[in-house]
């Protein structure tokens, strides 16, 4: 048994969860459940990123005390994560006093690599990111993601000396010691790293009040990303506690928009602390709505609760994990979703369970369970984080079982009184279905539980179909 630590990006709480946030959670959950299936012990962090001007301003606009505002939205994220049946072990809020104290300790430990200098340049509050002159010029002074002009800043800041770690980071990425997936993002990051300047890691208190105070300097507050990235180890108790049981993380899941923070600033922090780098950084694509980024102003935001209420949790997980590409941007459309629901979940899997259980019940066949290993091909795909391909592999088995029933015709064996053969055929089919269901467990755990309940002696078809066709 090995210990595996899996992490997700912690969302800003300047709004409520939307369908895109599900991506980090669902992918990390598949990984975590698969690790448990293969008998490893998993620590699984989720949480909320609660500092920074973007959040402070939103609370102010709404006339709600900021502490109250972040607490309310953090609860909504926690509820969302639970509704998705994410098997997390730890929920961290960056306003937790333990986190704040530990973030300050981390700052102190990094002090040999920190210096103070004047920052003159651009900033996007939407991204909470310092923007280079070159990037500002390329975008004509307007952030493409937030459609807002960059702000001009002239302020005294602390900087982290990225230059001290560049070589080590480059070597770790090139050699895959810190594996970046997918491969094309790894190349993008290597390019970005070449030109990466030292990063500003604080803001003057006059510009930012809602953040973790810089230790020993009342005039400065930590840049939100420094405090946020630290969450991955403060949640393990660093620096008071020994974290080597779970650190380095086996897998860190982030969206492609924030990979740069995780592949450059985060490794620099870790190297400065003398800690090993994460084993894998997985950067997923964006969920789009009719080909466009979801945005409240365009009015194309899909409410995850609407999807969940309409078709249930596993339909949601099924669609996100099989039909939304892990790495490329993919569209969510109701049409695609309903197609997948009716043709695949209801027709392929729902019918298979129904047919097999009905045949077993009618012919009074008991299950003699045999235990078999997970197929190597499935494990290889899962180990390479090719989750949607692994899901495809399992689905072919589901369809194969439907075909096998048609070919073996258990009803004819029953009619002809070939009872021994019937028993054998049915047991082979049921055991194969149970193996398939084990492979499905990381993806659609609720359905798998129901399948396993159905195929416990005495076998009886589910009282309500697994998926009701719409």
Report in angstroms how near the CB of residue 207 gets to ligand MSP at its nearest. Answer: 19
Part of the chain binding ligand MSP (CB under 6 A), chosen from 5-13, 239-247, 300-308, 438-446: 5-13
Return the DSSP state at 159: E
| Minimal CB distance residue for ligand MSP | 255
Q: Which of 39, 134, 296, 371 is catalytic?
A: 296
Query: Per the structure block, which two tokens stand in for 279?
Result: 């084993």
Q: Which of 4, 5, 6, 20 binds ligand MSP (CB under 6 A)?
A: 20
Overall size of the chain counted in residues:
470
Please say which residue, 49 or 344, places its beta carbon nearer to ligand MSP: 49
Among this protein's residues, is 293 annotated catalytic? Answer: yes
End-to-end CA distance of the chain: 43
Report in angstroms how near the CB of residue 218 gets to ligand MSP at its nearest. Answer: 26
Report in angstroms how near the CB of residue 452 gets to ligand MSP at its nearest. Answer: 32
Q: Is residue 319 at the binding interface for ligand MSP, with CB under 6 A as the rule?
A: no
SS3 labels along 86-110: CCCCEEEECCCHHHHHHHHHHHHHH
Report in angstroms how near the CB of residue 221 gets to ligand MSP at its nearest. Answer: 16
- Measure the CA–CA gap between 349 and 352, rounded to whole angstroms: 5
Task: Please enumerate in sequence order all residues whose Cβ is within 8 A of that of 187, keeping only pairs 6 or more positions apart, or say none.
Answer: none
* Pairing label, strands 251-255, 280-284: parallel
E runs forming strands in 132-250:
142-143, 148-149, 151-160, 179-181, 199-200, 202-204, 220-222
Q: Are 229 and 262 in contact (CB under 8 A)?
A: yes
Q: Is residue 24 at the binding interface for ligand MSP, with CB under 6 A as the rule?
A: yes
Please say which residue, 16 or 379, places its beta carbon nearer to ligand MSP: 16
Part of the chain binding ligand MSP (CB under 6 A), chosen from 80-88, 189-197, 286-294, 392-400: 286-294
Report in angstroms how near the CB of residue 240 gets to ligand MSP at its nearest. Answer: 21
- Measure the CA–CA gap between 231 and 220, rounded to whole angstroms: 20
String of DSSP letters for 290-325: TTEE--TTTT-PPPHHHHHHHH-HHHHHHIIIIIS-
* Pairing label, strands 202-204, 179-181: unpaired
Q: Which of 4, 5, 9, 189 binds ligand MSP (CB under 6 A)?
A: 9
The number of residues that bind ligand MSP (CB under 6 A) is 19
Report in angstroms how near the CB of residue 255 gets to ligand MSP at its nearest. Answer: 2
Q: Which of 166, 293, 310, 361 is catalytic?
A: 293
Report in angstroms how near the CB of residue 6 gets to ligand MSP at its nearest. Answer: 14
Write out the binding residues for ligand MSP, residues 213-272 only, by CB under 6 A.
228-229, 231, 254-255, 257-258
Q: Which of 46, 208, 287, 390 binds ligand MSP (CB under 6 A)?
A: 287
Among this protein's residues, is 18 annotated catalytic? Answer: yes
Q: Which of 4, 5, 6, 12 binds ligand MSP (CB under 6 A)?
A: 12
Among this protein's residues, is 51 annotated catalytic? Answer: no
Backbone angles phi, psi at 296, to 5 degrees: -60, -35
Part of the chain binding ligand MSP (CB under 6 A), chosen from 21-29, 35-43, 355-363, 370-378: 21-29
Number of other CB atoms surrounding residue 272 within 10 Å: 20
Q: Residue 306 burial (CB < 10 Å; 0-12/13-18/19+)? A: exposed
Among this protein's residues, is 127 annotated catalytic? Answer: yes
Query: Per the structure block, which two tokens stand in for 255?
Result: 């969206």
Report in angstroms how near the CB of residue 24 gets to ligand MSP at its nearest. Answer: 5
Cα angle, residue 127 at apex, residues 253 and 89 outer, rounded to 5°: 30
Q: Which of 4, 26, 51, 143 is catalytic?
A: 143
- Measure the CA–CA gap between 44 and 34, rounded to whole angstroms: 13
Part of the chain binding ligand MSP (CB under 6 A), chosen from 20-28, 137-145, 385-393, 404-412: 20-28
Q: Residue 400 burial (CB < 10 Å; 0-12/13-18/19+)? A: exposed
Cα 414 → chain centroid: 48
Among this protein's residues, is 21 annotated catalytic? Answer: yes
Q: Which of 127, 136, 262, 311 is catalytic?
A: 127
Among this protein's residues, is 146 annotated catalytic? Answer: yes
**Contact flags string 73-102 toward ligand MSP, x per CB under 6 A:** ------------------------------
Q: Which of 21, 186, 284, 311 is catalytic?
A: 21
**Contact flags string 36-55 toward ligand MSP, x per CB under 6 A:** -------------x------
Among this protein's residues, is 124 annotated catalytic? Answer: yes
- Measure the CA–CA gap between 201 and 214, rounded to whole angstroms: 10
Active site residues: 18, 21, 124, 127, 143, 146, 293, 296
Residues that bind ligand MSP (CB under 6 A): 9-12, 20-21, 23-24, 49, 228-229, 231, 254-255, 257-258, 286-287, 294
């Amino acid at each position: 048994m090995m210990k595996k630590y899996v992490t997700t990006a912690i969302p800003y709480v300047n709004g409520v969860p939307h369908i895109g946030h599900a991506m980090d959670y669902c992918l990390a959950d598949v990984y975590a459940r698969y690790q448990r299936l293969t008998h490893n012990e998993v620590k699984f962090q989720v949480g909320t990123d609660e500092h920074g001007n973007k959040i402070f301003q939103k609370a102010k606009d709404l006339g709600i005390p900021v502490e109250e505002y972040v607490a309310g939205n953090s609860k909504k994220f926690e509820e969302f994560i639970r509704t998705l049946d994410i098997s997390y072990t730890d929920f961290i809020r960056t306003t937790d006093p333990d986190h704040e104290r530990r973030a300050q300790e981390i700052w102190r430990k990094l002090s040999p690599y920190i210096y103070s200098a004047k920052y003159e340049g651009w900033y996007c509050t939407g991204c909470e990111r310092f923007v280079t002159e070159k990037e500002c010029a390329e975008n004509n002074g307007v952030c493409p993601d937030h459609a807002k002009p960059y702000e001009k800043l002239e302020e005294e800041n602390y900087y982290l000396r990225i230059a001290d770690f560049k070589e080590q980071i480059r070597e770790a990425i090139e050699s895959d010691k810190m594996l970046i997936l997918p491969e094309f993002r790894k190349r993008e990051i290597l390019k970005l790293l070449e030109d990466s300047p030292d990063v500003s890691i604080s803001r003057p208190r006059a510009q930012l009040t809602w953040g973790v105070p810089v230790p020993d300097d009342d005039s400065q507050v930590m840049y939100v990303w420094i405090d946020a990235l630290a969450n991955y180890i403060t949640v393990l108790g660093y620096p008071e506690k020994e974290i080597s049981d779970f650190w380095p993380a086996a897998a860190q899941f982030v969206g492609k928009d924030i990979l740069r923070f995780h592949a450059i600033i985060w490794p620099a922090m870790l190297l400065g602390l003398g800690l090993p780098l994460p084993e894998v950084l997985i950067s997923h694509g964006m969920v789009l709505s009719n080909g466009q980024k979801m945005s409240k102003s365009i009015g194309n935001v899909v409410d995850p609760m609407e999807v969940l209420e309409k078709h249930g949790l596993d339909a949601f997980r099924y669609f996100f994990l099989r039909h939304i590409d892990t790495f490329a941007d993919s569209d969510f459309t109701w049409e695609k979703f309903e197609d997948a629901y009716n043709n695949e979940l209801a027709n392929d899997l729902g019918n298979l369970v129904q047919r097999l259980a009905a045949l077993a019940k009618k012919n009074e066949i008991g299950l003699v369970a045999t235990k078999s290993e997970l197929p190597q091909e499935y494990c290889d795909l899962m180990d390479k984080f090719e989750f949607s391909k692994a899901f495809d592999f399992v689905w072919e088995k589901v369809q194969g079982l439907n075909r096998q029933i048609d070919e073996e015709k258990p009803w004819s064996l029953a009619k002809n009184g070939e009872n021994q053969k019937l028993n054998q055929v049915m047991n082979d089919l049921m055991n194969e279905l149970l193996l398939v269901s084990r492979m499905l467990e990381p993806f659609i755990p609720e359905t798998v539980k129901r399948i396993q309940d159905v195929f416990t002696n005495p076998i009886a078809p589910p009282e309500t179909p697994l998926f009701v066709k719409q």
